[in-house]
Amino acid sequence: MAFVSTFSQFCLFFTFLISSSIAQTTSFTPKALVLPVTKDSATGQYTTQLSQRTPLFAIKLTVDLGGQYLWVDCDQNFTSSTFRPAECNSEVCNLAEYRVCGGGFCSLYPYNPITNTATIGQLAQDVVSLQSTDGSNPGSIVIAQRVLFTCGSTSLLEGLANGVKGMAGLGRGPIGLASQLSSAFSFSRKFAICLGEMGVIFFGDGPYNFLPDNNVSQSLIYTPLFINPISAPGSFFPREKSIEYFIGVKNIKIDEEPVSINSTLLNFFDKEGNGGTKISTINPYTMMERSIYKAFTSAFAKALSGVPRVSPFAPFDVCFNSSHLGVTRVGPAVPTIDFVLQSPTDYWRIFGGNAMVQVKEDVLCLGFVDGGLNPGASIVIGIHQIENNLLEFDLARSRLGFTSTLYFQRTTCSNFNLTSNA
Ligand SMILES: *[C@@H]1O[C@H](CO)[C@@H](O)[C@H](O)[C@H]1NC(C)=O
Ligand SMILES: *[C@@H]1O[C@H](CO)[C@@H](O)[C@H](O)[C@H]1NC(C)=O
Ligand SMILES: *[C@@H]1O[C@H](CO)[C@@H](O)[C@H](O)[C@H]1NC(C)=O
Ligand SMILES: *[C@@H]1O[C@H](CO)[C@@H](O)[C@H](O)[C@H]1NC(C)=O
Ligand SMILES: *[C@@H]1O[C@H](CO)[C@@H](O)[C@H](O)[C@H]1NC(C)=O
């Protein structure tokens, strides 16, 4: 997989453009910000809340790791004395690859990946407020004066959790929320997500301290992030530059034994940008291209052949009678799954709690799904596999830091102390 070395230069350029057009006026300068996250039980989506506009108005948003930017429904109840539409041919308008101009104003195409729909909507700037953090608690509220976002429509909210009014796009592009907040407050171009029943998103530098007294920053393992040079597979717009987060999985091991898979599929292998491994907060379970899925599930079933199998339970194919499985601190006692990265000693290990899904009282299924023959990315690491793992996306250094399961450290993503110490 070819690493695109010009990425840092590309980003420096955009950071410069953005810092000149977003100002923050809070006297206190935060080192980092924090957003609390909740899992919506009906949809499984991760939602967060931030305040926008003047007067400030709290908006609930679905978190989209691979989304381009913040978009909100401007059709209903949008009033703000600080709303500023972006003009055609302005610096900020020209940052977006897909844009249209009308009446002198710039519009983009906000996208909902759950229904795979987009609408046209004005690009604009407005005040956004959220809480700072010292890494252990939320602190003072800070305000960024001109955060870019796009106006979605009410119809674009279809498929999103109840009460949600838009999406928080954390993609690596120039108008992603992470790039904008780091330029507004001049902190590192970095963010971290830690998702569970509850969870948190940090913007800026760590530490990341969870109760009872765990400095999770100490256990991060790093691996390069890759840019799909051609397009984001499955993206709505053809040839859109990849703003999603890809990692270089080289092979998969089960109980340290390699699974035999076609390694070509793990690279970006064709002119459409198919292939590779990306991380998503939209897919509920890790999805694999069919041949990888078949090899993976049969190797896992073989490694656990001593445990009675039971009938498949859609969307899963490999299910076991859980009364025959032990339980450990890190979940059901099943074979370990390793996504092997840049060298055989660098791997993301998945334990029982992130591998298995309880579907009935005595039935546990392997929580991975068949992506079919042409899924775009060959592996999409989904929500169930990243829960209670902290993932740090360092855009400046183009690397991912990951912890593996926090259960080993006797904490979870729900254990961030949300009591403000401001
Ligand atoms: C608009 O705001 C009013 C008053 O706060 C509220 O009653 C109404 O439900 C809101 N409408 C929508 C669609 O959010
Ligand atoms: C947490 O760990 C990081 C990395 O080892 C270290 O730099 C930092 O000082 C620690 N912070 C706290 C509050 O213990
Ligand atoms: C591996 O996958 C690539 C891409 O789909 C395909 O062209 C190639 O024939 C496959 N190789 C084998 C041995 O199946
Ligand atoms: C699981 O195994 C137990 C004990 O052998 C048995 O009583 C139970 O019916 C089994 N459940 C299923 C779903 O097969
Ligand atoms: C959470 O933080 C608050 C404010 O610093 C502190 O008073 C409280 O003791 C903390 N909670 C726990 C469980 O440590």
* CA distances for 388 relative to 157, 168, 204, 375, angstroms: 27, 20, 20, 26
**Which of 156, 151, 149, 213 is closest to 181 using CA atoms?**
149
Give the pLDDT confidence score for residue 270 in this predicted structure: 87
Mind listing the domains of the chain with CATH numbers? 7-208 (2.40.70.10), 218-415 (2.40.70.10)
The reported pLDDT for the residue numbered 161 is: 98
- Alpha-carbon gap, residue 39 to 277, rounded angstroms: 24
CA distance 215 to 209: 4
Atom of ligand 4 lying closest to residue 324 CA: 2
> What integer pLDDT is reported at residue 18 of this predicted model?
45
Does residue 235 contact residue 227 with C-beta atoms inside 8 Å?
no
pLDDT value, residue 236: 62
Alpha-carbon span 407 to 330, nearest angstrom? 6
Q: What is the pLDDT of residue 106?
A: 96
Beta carbons within 10 angstroms of residue 49's beta carbon: 17
Of 83, 95, 69, give the one whose Cα is nearest residue 171.
69
pLDDT tens series, the chain, 422 aa: 333 333 333 333 344 444 445 545 556 789 999 999 999 999 999 999 999 999 999 999 999 999 999 999 999 989 999 999 999 999 989 887 788 998 999 999 999 999 999 999 999 999 999 999 999 999 999 999 999 999 999 999 999 999 999 999 999 988 999 999 999 999 999 999 999 999 999 999 999 999 999 999 999 999 999 988 876 545 566 556 678 999 999 999 999 999 999 999 999 988 888 899 999 999 999 999 999 999 999 999 999 999 999 999 999 999 999 999 999 999 999 999 999 999 999 999 999 999 999 999 999 999 999 999 988 899 999 999 999 999 999 999 999 999 999 999 999 999 999 999 98
The residue with tokens 């609408």 is 119
215 lines ligand 2 (CB under 6 A): yes
Pocket test for ligand 5, best of 34, 137, 211, 419 (most atoms within 8 A of CB): 419
- Name the token pair of 198: 């509850």
Q: Candidates 131, 213, 417, 421: which one to mutate for ligand 5, based on the most atoms within 8 Å of Cβ?
A: 417
Torsion of CA 247, 94, 70, 369, to 10 degrees: -30
Q: Say which ligand is closest to the CA of 263.
A: 3
Quote the pLDDT of residue 75.
96
